[in-house]
Amino acid sequence: MSQNQSLEYDDLMRVLEPVAPATDASDCHGLLCGLICAAGFGDPKLWVQEYFENFDPRDAAHNRAFKTLQELYEQSLVQLNSTDLDFELLLPEDDEPLAGRTESLGRWCSGFLSGLAIGGLAEMDNVSDELRELLDDLTHIARVEFEPGDSSEEESVAFEEVVEYVRIAVLYAYEELQPPSTAPTLQ
């Protein structure tokens, strides 16, 4: 995969299936992003144990999944640090049923919140009221349940608005928890 090419949801699901069949790509991405936001980096020792029951680096499938997750981590770190604000959530494609996309968004938020906790953001005392409120919103989104019915255009638009809200919330969390270091100025 080239540096200009981003991993897609289905790419990650294909490599996770043989080694961690109960793991969802959205949850993985959320956890990695949460680790990055909380700690500034995602220590593989932390996230490997979350996804692999008995990780064996000599096993070809485990090794492939690890490398793909490492690539996703690096891609996420670059996107979170981009001045272009091109960070995107890893979710199923738009042509997938809205119910599945909604469930994946909930899993993404759940993974993100777990990543924050694993990364050391257990105490909320040192965060702004705005970030506390955003994280509370993400907690509610993590519990989302899609009600079966007609997936109207209106529901799809509402879903995209929630995805954008989560995306901006994550960028805000990253900026608050990992503020850019200021360059020294000449005096």
Is the pLDDT score of 15 beyond 60?
yes
2 part of a folded domain: no
Residue 149: left if φ>0, alpha if ψ -120 to 50, beta else—which one?
left
CATH number at residue 158: 1.20.120.740
Mean pLDDT across 152-175: 93
pLDDT at 78: 93
Q: How far is CA 114 from CA 18, 110, 121, in A?
A: 23, 6, 10
181 part of a folded domain: no
Token readout for 125 is 């005392």
184 part of a folded domain: no
pLDDT at 3: 44
Mean pLDDT across 3-10: 74
Q: Whole-angstrom Cα distance, residue 37 to residue 26?
A: 16
Q: How far is CA 74 from CA 25, 33, 78, 176, in A?
A: 15, 10, 6, 20
180 part of a folded domain: no
pLDDT at 164: 97
3 part of a folded domain: no
More confident position, 142 or 50: 142
1 part of a folded domain: no
Mean pLDDT across 57-61: 90
pLDDT in tens, 81-128: 988 888 999 999 988 989 899 999 999 999 999 999 998 886 767 889
Total domains in the chain come to: 1
pTM of the model: 0.89
pLDDT at 7: 87
The mean pLDDT value of the chain amounts to 87
Band (53; pLDDT cuts 50, 70, 90) = confident
More confident position, 158 or 49: 158
Q: Whole-angstrom Cα distance, residue 132 to residue 177?
A: 12
pLDDT at 148: 64
Mean pLDDT across 131-157: 85
Which residue range is the domain that position 15 belongs to? Answer: 9-174
Is the pLDDT score of 181 beyond 90?
no
pLDDT at 169: 97
Got the DSSP string for 20-59?
Answer: -TT--HHHHHHHHHHHHHHHSS--HHHHHHHH-TT--TTS
